[in-house]
Amino acid sequence: MSQARPKVRTEPVQSATFSKAVNAEIRRAAETGIYDIRGGGSKRRVPHFDDLLFLGASISRYPLEGYREKCATNVTLGTRFAKTPIELAIPITIAGMSFGALSAQAKEALGRGATIAGTSTTTGDGGMTEEERGHSKTLVYQYLPSRYGMNPDDLRRADAIEVVVGQGAKPGGGGMLLGQKITDRVAEMRDLPKGIDQRSACRHPDWTGPDDLEIKILELREITGWEKPIYIKVGGARPYFDTALAVKAGADVVVLDGMQGGTAATQDVFIEHVGQPTLACIRPAVRALQELGMHRKVQLVVSGGIRTGADVAKALALGADAVSIGTAAMVALGDNDPRYEDEYRALGTTAGAYDDWHEGQDPAGISTQDAELAARLDPVLGGRRLANYLGVMTLEAQTIARACGKSHVHNLEPEDLCALTIEAAAMARVPLAGTDWIPGQTPI
């Protein structure tokens, strides 16, 4: 008679395909019948600047002394047609974020911080506020498909005009500001009744292609006396062709926003599955500029997931003239701060993961129009924090540039880089570390 053996159990294994997060989303979709809408940028891992490394100098290259020798960081944007180009002290700008999506205090803090640091802010989809104009020494006015709040007076009060054609989080997509964030002031600025969802169209209502865009830019220049640089912002999907067409349309500056770029609110499936990583977008855009003889004549501003001075230096080394930050600037102001953890928990999330910016309940008072929540953000302190952060990023970029022997951060070049992964090597078109191999360009 055989003796019953104890049953041997295997270790429970979660499916990589049907992970906890995937299953939770399936359950949420089954319950609500609608896709997830959230703010922010792509959360999943994609090839990024972390996959590149700098090759500091030793014998074959001669470094500059880190704390003594000069490494300049200034940048001029809009040297092609504009009578008054933008002069910035650092090559890091603040990306467009709308009043409506952000509180007035947050917009003021962005202006204060950028001005201290010597750089520009950008309006966003909702018009120009006095807080923003009053506290931003250099302000870029976005000309968006929705045309909320658009008027010639604000065009003339701006220092540059950014024609937004696409956004990294949602190239090809529009937006929706839900009714709960539409206060009296937001409603008045946008010519819509309070409490109604406000749709931002995915395309401009009065032009339908690059030839029309060229004429639209002529109109904007004529209205503003050809004084202000015209930026064209595109989502990082077809960077070679979109950059070439932006140049053809008359851009002074091309703003290229990769898929890690944020948004106030759109479909999660859009954020995670449309567009290309920022890293993959830069070299095709630079190639387009070079082939047209316009590299450094039409400036390239890259955005989408820029976090550190290393990211800044890598983007510049790949050919950008400047970078732009949105999500990182919000974090610098205090977004997703662990000190509000109890409140994040009450909202069903945790500090660092809060992304329901469209609901207007941001405990940090940044992505909200709730007066009590917004009052939590001190614009002066927030501005100081942003300026500190921008200063640190700049110092980091300078440190790296000096180690590569550069007296200006713009002297960084692809030759200063290698890649940790084959994917990053192929996208950035720099050699895989320890080899001379650039996938697709040099033989193995």
Give residues in contact with another protein (CB under 8 A). Answer: 32-34, 146-147, 150-152, 155, 176, 178-179, 190-193, 195-197, 199, 201, 205-207, 212, 215-216, 218-219, 222-226
Residue type, 213: L
**Looking at beta carbons only, is 146 or 398 nearer to another protein?**
146
Which tokens in the block code for residue 278?
A: 């920022």
Q: What is the pairing mode between strands 266-267 and 37-38?
A: antiparallel
Least Å distance between CB 131 and another protein? Answer: 22
Q: Spell out where 236-338 has E strands.
A: 253-257, 266-267, 299-303, 322-325
Residue type, 189: M
* Alpha carbons 162 and 140: distance in angstroms, whole number: 6
**Looking at beta carbons only, is 51 or 159 nearer to another protein?**
159
Place of tokens 């390239």: 300
**Looking at beta carbons only, is 214 or 337 nearer to another protein?**
214
**Looking at beta carbons only, is 197 or 415 nearer to another protein?**
197
Least Å distance between CB 258 and another protein? Answer: 28
Least Å distance between CB 179 and another protein? Answer: 5
**Looking at beta carbons only, is 66 or 225 nearer to another protein?**
225
Least Å distance between CB 441 and another protein? Answer: 43
**Looking at beta carbons only, is 213 or 256 nearer to another protein?**
213
Closest CA to 143 of 120, 125, 156: 125
Closest CA to 170 of 285, 35, 25: 35
Least Å distance between CB 423 and another protein? Answer: 36
| Close Cβ partners of 290 (under 8 Å, ≥ 6 residues apart) | none
* Alpha carbons 57 and 119: distance in angstroms, whole number: 30
Least Å distance between CB 159 and another protein? Answer: 17
Least Å distance between CB 152 and another protein? Answer: 4
Burial degree of 382 (CB within 10 A; 0-12, 13-18, 19+): buried
Closest CA to 75 of 45, 122, 119, 42: 119
What values do phi and psi take at 254, rounded to 5?
Answer: -105, 125
* Alpha carbons 162 and 124: distance in angstroms, whole number: 10
Place of tokens 């977008």: 281
**Looking at beta carbons only, is 196 or 392 nearer to another protein?**
196
Least Å distance between CB 201 and another protein? Answer: 7
**Looking at beta carbons only, is 151 or 441 nearer to another protein?**
151
